[in-house]
Amino acid sequence: MKRQLAALGALLGALVLGAPAAFASGAPQWTQTGTAYHDSLTGGEGVASRADGSLLYRGLASVPLDLRVKGWNHVGDPDIAGGYVFDAYQGADTATSKMFEVTTPSGKRYDYVHPLDAGEKLNNSFAAVSPDAQWLVSGEWGDQNRLQVFPAPLLNPSTPATGGTLAQAGQITLDKAVADIQGCDFVSDTRLLCASDDASGTHFPEVRPLLQVDLPHRLNGQPVSGTVTSLFALPEQSVCSGTFETEGIDYDAARGTLRVEVVQPGVCEVSTTVYSYRLQ
């Protein structure tokens, strides 16, 4: 489960410079091009880019009151497709379902509830919509060998038009186990990038790695395999010491910009660092 913010405070942006990340041999090289900061309370869970290049952030304070009343107390990393905003919600530790909410360009909100299948964890860390806007990928917490796939609520014609029950489609089975995936986003029809908060070194030598998942073909609702590559360790740069936390990820396809969030440690936890990259 993600760490809760210990306190509120002014946004802290001071960093100490770190060494450049090392890239996996033969892998595409993402070069860091910028650093920005956002209040963790309103942006420490995720980020998504709009068509005009502006950014949508989500944090603990982003959960609407009506959803909190219904028990949805955590929002994950969002995504935007064609002006439709997709949010991933989860409830308490006793929850038996998870929920995806779609907000239309006109501001209407529709809720799609997924009853947990046998063996499924209640975590709902992120929403990632495929480039054709027909499939939604999400994930659970802890060690996993899969990513979950659902018909994209509202946009896939197999889903109810005004909200309702959402069943899983064929999942992505990964060739290597991954841990604590906080967010994924598509960079093409057959490739996702995922931000991992894994600091154990059990699965990959990198701490909190940026992972690449390659598919043999675009999603079609049927089971598919995924090949996982660890690209590099995400930065851990702050004037504060302690445990960092990887959070949301976004790829702005129109501008070729990748963004990844890392929450700073200790009293600097009130600040989330947003690192920008471009493919070289």
Q: Which residues contact 107 (CB under 8 A, 6 or more apart)?
A: none
pLDDT value at position 239? 96
* Number of residues in the chain: 280
In a 13 Å sphere around the CA of 129, the CA atoms on its Cβ side amount to 27
Would 214 be classed as within a structural domain?
Answer: yes
38 is a domain residue? yes
- Give residue 20's pLDDT band: very low, low, confident or very high (50, 70, 90): very low
- Which pLDDT does position 14 carry in this prediction? 35
Residue 219: give the domain boundaries.
30-279
Does any domain span residue 7? no
Within the chain, how many helices (H) and strands (E) appear? Answer: 2, 20
For the chain, what percent of residues have pLDDT higher than 70? 90
The pLDDT value given to residue 280: 85
Q: Is the Cβ–Cβ distance between 71 and 87 less than 8 Å?
A: no
**Any domain includes 140:** yes
Look up the CATH number of the domain holding residue 254: 2.120.10
Asked, for residue 120, whether it belongs to a domain, the answer is yes
pLDDT tens digit string along 238-276? 999 999 999 999 999 999 999 999 999 999 999 999 999
- The single-letter DSSP state of residue 127 is -
In-domain check, residue 13: no
What is d(CA 195, CA 203) in angstroms, rounded to the nearest whole number? 14
If one counts every other C-beta atom within 10 angstroms of the C-beta of residue 52, the result is: 6
Question: Is 17 inside a domain boundary?
Answer: no
pTM, full prediction: 0.90
Q: What is the pLDDT of residues 152-197, one digit of tens each?
A: 999 999 999 999 999 999 999 999 999 999 999 999 999 999 999 9
Q: Which two tokens stand for residue 185?
A: 């986003």
Q: Name the DSSP letter for residue 98.
A: E
Residue whose entry in the numeric block shows the structure tokens 């028990």: 71
Overall domain count for the chain: 1
Higher pLDDT, 40 or 14: 40
For the chain, what is the mean pLDDT? 91
Question: Would you tell me how many other CB atoms lie within 10 Å of the CB of residue 162?
Answer: 10
Asked if residue 179 belongs to a domain, the reply is yes
